Structure 1
Amino acid sequence: MNSRQKKTLAVVFKDPVPGTLEWVDIEGLLVAVGCQIIEGNGSRVRFEKDGELESFHRPHPAKEAKRYQVRAARAFLIRLGIEP
């Protein structure tokens, strides 16, 4: 994990949940921790690692992740055993 991804990890676990985190940073973090991206229809994307699966819709037209998406990414990382 590089320094940008470590910063993203810290922001994902920050309270209150930020509304300014860009989705590409969350995707980069999930790939850096070993997740495989499974593209779906339209904006749907799934991430899989060690049998754990999480599904998201990429935000559009804005590039910032919604707060519920950040919370879901946090829960997924916790299930994977990854915390700052």
Structure 2
Amino acid sequence: MRIDEMTLDQLLELNEAICQRTDELKEQENLQALSQLRVGLKVTFETREGPAFGIVTKINRKSVIVLAEDGTKQYKVSPELLKPLHEVK
């Protein structure tokens, strides 16, 4: 069936299914990202001002608190936006 042939009820039902699936996929992505993080881990992420570096201080269900490398700022970041920094030995 083509979308332009669907009734309003059919479109609303389709929209609900799409929103539910989108939420499920975002939750999976979030859980995967959270599994890679731990308190004390050095991370990097993008801000409006450019790349930022910091240390994970708290992990919540949907966000991570990161203390800026210089200790002047605290960021609340979505876990999927964080990239762990691996120190070179």
TM-score class, shorter: under 0.3
Higher relative contact order (CA 8 A, sep 6+): 1
* Higher Rg: 2
Higher strand content, 1 or 2:
2
* TM-score in terms of structure 2 length: 0.26
